A and B are shown apart, each in its own frame.
Chain A
Amino acid sequence: EAGVAQSPRYKIIEKRQSVAFWCNPISGHATLYWYQQILGQGPKLLIQFQNNGVVDDSQLPKDRFSAERLKGVDSTLKIQPAKLEDSAVYLCASSLSWDGNIQYFGAGTRLSVL
């Protein structure tokens, strides 16, 4: 089966600019996750969707980060304005549902904020 698709793979921006990432989960997967992985650390959940509803966004910096999952399939994560500390890999993952199902990760988008 096709995996989780993410784009772009790399993005370099200057601080205070805006950036958006896109994710297409595995077909049929109801749950979608966005993680931030800072170099040398484990992935940290930013937001979790169940279909097109938000289940958990407790660690999303809502003053600058936003995410949506229109129609319950694709999702976009936006940062506006970006800060230097936002430099990280942004990973998207999906699972059939939240309960007892494996999370499959995309290849990620590496963001560098200069």
Chain B
Amino acid sequence: GENVEQHPSTLSVQEGDSAVIKCTYSDSASNYFPWYKQELGKRPQLIIDIRSNVGEKKDQRIAVTLNKTAKHFSLHITETQPEDSAVYFCAARGFGNEKLTFGTGTRLTIIP
């Protein structure tokens, strides 16, 4: 089955700086890669996603890049703000397999 690894497990950045979270996946047939943000005690919420036919996607301060050859994808947050503090999860879904496999999460702390 699919295995998703996520790094780092914790990340602290100064407000205004950029944050990068990286994930690798094992199933080369995976074709959908969402990123979820989960604030303490709240539900995971989708912030951005990318499909395997696209190398990069951007939405305001958030971007995701995908390298299919290396089987890794990354979340980039620029101009970080205190409200970006949360746990971020990456996930991957294989082709013909409906199941999302999640990474172990990254706790991002923005230092004012």
Complex Cα gap A13–B108 (Å)? 32
Are B98 and A56 neighbours in the complex by a CB distance under 8 Å?
yes
Contacts of A108 in B (CB 8 A): 43
Complex Cα gap A104–B103 (Å)? 17
Hey, what's the 0/1 contact readout for B73-112 against A, CB within 8 Å counting as 1? 0000000000000000101000000111111110000000
Q: Measured between C-beta atoms, what is the minimum distance from A19 to chain B in Å?
A: 20
Known interface pairs A42-B105, A43-B89, A100-B32. Does A48 touch B99 (Cβ–Cβ under 8 Å)? yes
Q: Please, which residue of chain B has its CB at the minimum distance from the CB of A108?
A: B43
Q: From B34, B104, B105, give the contact of A102 (CB < 8 A).
A: B34
Hey, what's the 0/1 contact readout for A13-31 against B, CB within 8 Å counting as 1? 0000000000000000001
Interface hits, A58-114 → B, CB 8 Å: 91, 98-100, 102-108
Contacts of B91 in A (CB 8 A): 42
Are B104 and A107 neighbours in the complex by a CB distance under 8 Å?
no
Q: Measured between C-beta atoms, what is the minimum distance from B60 to chain A in Å?
A: 18
Number of residue pairs spanning A and B whose beta carbons lie under 8 angstroms apart: 48
Q: From B43, B98, B99, B104, give the contact of A42 (CB < 8 A).
A: B104
Are B46 and A41 neighbours in the complex by a CB distance under 8 Å?
no
Q: Measured between C-beta atoms, what is the minimum distance from B30 to chain A in Å?
A: 13
* B61 beta carbon closer than 8 Å to chain A: no
Known interface pairs A40-B105, A102-B49. Does A45 touch B99 (Cβ–Cβ under 8 Å)? yes
Q: From B4, B6, B43, B46, give the contact of A91 (CB < 8 A).
A: B43
Q: Measured between C-beta atoms, what is the minimum distance from B95 to chain A in Å?
A: 10
Apart from A43-B89, A99-B98, 12 more pairs, CB < 8 Å: A3-B43, A31-B98, A40-B104, A40-B105, A41-B105, A45-B101, A48-B98, A91-B43, A98-B98, A100-B51, A103-B100, A105-B43
CB pairs A–B below 8 angstroms (27 shown): A4-B43, A31-B98, A41-B104, A41-B105, A42-B4, A42-B89, A42-B91, A42-B104, A43-B44, A43-B89, A45-B100, A48-B98, A48-B99, A55-B98, A56-B98, A91-B43, A91-B44, A98-B98, A99-B98, A102-B34, A102-B46, A103-B34, A103-B46, A105-B43, A105-B44, A107-B42, A108-B43
